[in-house]
Amino acid sequence: SICTLRGCCWSPQSDTSVPWCFFSSDHGYKVDGSTRSTQAGFETTLTRLSSPSLFGNDINTVLLTGEYQTPNRFRFKITDPNAQRFEVPHEHVQSFTGSAASNLNYKVDV
């Protein structure tokens, strides 16, 4: 595969289900500590890896929240645990208040 200075790699595959463009494993974030269970799923802290920034002004520590809302719907949210940011409200999207679904038709690995 060929990787650019910013870390984007290109590797054409014969399998159409495999993306041709991807970032190497030394880009992005890693789990920092344990994954904590919540009523609807889990939350965990992620720490930014020391790879070159793609857009600048990266947040070094973020909170990943996952909710097993239904057997067919998983919701994840990434937030800055140290600063509240504006979130666009939507009249038809409410906060999830239920418990984690069972008999999931998907698998989540963190």
**Tens digits of per-residue pLDDT, 12-22?**
777 777 667 76
Contacts 24+ apart (CB under 8 A), 22-26: 26/51
Model pLDDT for residues 42-75, shown as the tens digit of each residue: 999 999 998 877 778 899 999 999 999 999 999 9
58 and 29 in contact (C-beta within 8 Å)? no
CB contact burial 11-32 (16+ within 10 A = b; e otherwise): eeeeeeeeeeeeeeeebebeee
Q: φ, ψ for residue 74 (rounded to 5)? A: -115, 130
Q: How far apart are CA 29 and CA 62, in angstroms?
A: 9
Q: Which of 16-20, 71-75, 79-83, 94-98 has the lowest mean pLDDT?
A: 16-20
